Structure 1
């Protein structure tokens, strides 16, 4: 197991608890595939590498197991869970059902403030795309969708989506190697529909955007077959 993806310095930052810091580091490393699907990971080794006690690492492992990123097995090695094909499909279904409703609701409201926030967000996406900063692009992609939910008065919907998309997030990050331009253009189309308060156009743009994950799944399963778990796929 390589722990180069984890930085001991990050656990010294005064943000939340030590367990929060360890969790954030591990989650980001797994999401961005710096800790690869199927790799073994040791509580003791992580604690030693980060210079922390095992308790915050144990807490972080528990949270990651509940999220679906780790498989913790008593008396056996803990491992990074492979990307579940079925869970990716499930997450796409949930996202589409919720986000289409959310974007339609947004178009029924006063969108002035939301438009300003989305414009600023799109600038950050564009800047990240120019430098191929996939970490920042992924964060701003999520922020774009969160802002729409917030602007629609449906912040709770984004919380539900965020809880369900762990497996999809790794696929999304992999796809940024080739998919950033299309994601950005999709976001622009969604933005323009919201700005015009055109619910039908926003509905179509959101469905088109979220539907791309199906094509990405087909492509990435061929290129990175070893990262995927097809056992539950229909």
Structure 2
């Protein structure tokens, strides 16, 4: 299967980092946004040729993508984009809920003035991205919304920890933006209102509801795109099957 991805050819020298960093970043984004769908074969040699670089930086990028579960690297066989692991999506949701519910409560206990200003701007940008159905930008702003809350609570490190765990969840989130943008935006407004009023109980409840939606999204997406998902171990993740909609 040929590689269909909008890479420049050859790859321009990166402003920061290494060629391997640039390949990793662009390829990760293409996989996250399903421009390279699960099961797509990808050739280290072909990609290096198209980018006009040696195979070494491409190999390094492939190894990193394998570590986060985006590539299935099989020695002496083709490398392909890995399926979305249902188990890892649910594990990431569990980690996010444990950390972000605590973070949003802390944010309510601090001076929220600067945070509210940043979130106001972010929500305005989300609204524009939603109106334009710009899913790439909406996804970026969604992540930034949560990072801003963590930083506003003095817990930026918590978002860094989450970022290391949510690679599979990100693909599911992006796929769900075809129908889920209105609910995501309304959830963000509810979290924002609770933060603005410094209502910790309401903020926790709004965050739990927001993060629990991934269960229902998984159920719907698996019905429509079952070929994209790996169900191995899904029922044991967090002690509940996909689609229950329960928090926990």
The TM tier, using the shorter chain, reads over 0.9
Give matches, 1:164-179, under 5 Å. Answer: 164-179=165-180
- Determine if contact 1:43/1:57 at 8 Å carries over to the other structure: yes
User: What CA RMSD, in Å, does the superposition of the two structures yield over aligned residues?
Assistant: 1.2
Q: Distance in 2 between matches of 1:183 and 1:223?
A: 20
- Determine if contact 2:3/2:41 at 8 Å carries over to the other structure: no
Give matches, 1:194-213, under 5 Å. Answer: 194-213=195-214
Could you give the per-residue CA deviations for residues 129-177 of structure 1, whole angstroms, max 9, x where no partner exists?
A: 0000000000000000000001101011101111101111111001000
Q: Distance in 2 between matches of 1:215 and 1:99?
A: 19
Q: Which residue number in structure 1 is paired with residue 241 of structure 2? A: none
SS at match of 1:79: strand
- Determine if contact 2:9/2:52 at 8 Å carries over to the other structure: no
SS at match of 2:38: coil
- Determine if contact 1:46/1:57 at 8 Å carries over to the other structure: yes
Task: Please state if 1:104 is matched with 2:105.
Answer: yes
SS at match of 2:80: strand
Q: Which residue number in structure 2 is paired with residue 124 of structure 1? A: 125
- Determine if contact 1:114/1:148 at 8 Å carries over to the other structure: yes
Aligned CA distance change for structure 1 residues 116 and 9 (closer, same or farther; 3 Å)? farther
1:9 positional shift = 5.2
TM-score, structure 2 as length reference:
0.92
Q: Which residue number in structure 2 is paired with residue 145 of structure 1? A: 146
SS at match of 1:164: coil
- Determine if contact 2:69/2:167 at 8 Å carries over to the other structure: yes
1:48 positional shift = 1.1
1:225 positional shift = 0.4
Q: Which residue number in structure 2 is paired with residue 3 of structure 1? A: 3
TM-score, structure 1 as length reference:
0.97
Q: Which residue number in structure 1 is paired with residue 26 of structure 2? A: 25
1:14 positional shift = 1.9
1:194 positional shift = 0.6
Q: Which residue number in structure 2 is paired with residue 158 of structure 1? A: 159
Gaps of 5+ in 2: 236-248
1:8 positional shift = 1.6
- Determine if contact 1:3/1:49 at 8 Å carries over to the other structure: no
Gaps of 5+ in 1: none
Q: Which residue number in structure 1 is paired with residue 240 of structure 2? A: none
1:68 positional shift = 1.1
- Determine if contact 1:31/1:170 at 8 Å carries over to the other structure: yes
Question: How many residues are paired up?
Answer: 234
SS at match of 1:8: coil
Q: Distance in 1 between matches of 2:99 and 2:2?
A: 38
